[in-house]
Amino acid sequence: MNYLKDLREKVGHEMLMTVGCGCLLENEKGEVLLQKRSDNGLWCVPGGALELEETYVEAVKREVFEEVGIKLLDPELFGLYSGDDRVIQYPNGDIVYSLAVIFKATKYEGTISDEDSEVLEHRFFSKDEIPPREMLFEPDARPILDWASGDNNCIVK
């Protein structure tokens, strides 16, 4: 099932409201995993859209597995994000207003892979190595920068 693909066949490129689920995955050094998108070359958190009848946790685990090749073991809510920076226009012309449910995790099984066609590479960054904002995918900039600033509580923004 691909809810968004099916809906796009009916409404074209018009703006849709979606829910995205992403994960700030920390390694044993306290660094966060970011991925470089293949469509625009910007860094973002692994994640993607919630499908019909899927829970937020199911969605983030599925998306991280699809994009990174690993199984998340302990995702915990990091923050809920909405606002003007959540309007996304993709290179193909699709527009979404994507509310974000961002998780944080520290444990996973498997080996990180760059094989997904949506991803150019994965890399762990320390808090002081986060790429500058202009190199971040704008909808993910706030959660990444909140993490880097040490704001690690469940937040609503």
Distance (Å, rounded) from C-alpha 133 to C-alpha 128? 13
* Structure-block tokens of residue 146: 């909140």
pTM: 0.91
Domains of the chain, first to last: 18-156 (3.90.79.10)
pLDDT at 156: 65
pLDDT at 70: 97
Distance (Å, rounded) from C-alpha 71 to C-alpha 65? 6
pLDDT at 155: 66
pLDDT at 116: 81
Distance (Å, rounded) from C-alpha 66 to C-alpha 135? 23
* Structure-block tokens of residue 39: 């469509």
pLDDT at 29: 97
Alpha-carbon distances, residue 156 vs 63, 81, 106 (angstroms): 22, 6, 21
- Mean pLDDT by 10-residue block, N- to C-terminus, for the chain (157 residues)? 83 93 97 94 95 96 96 95 91 93 97 89 97 95 93 63
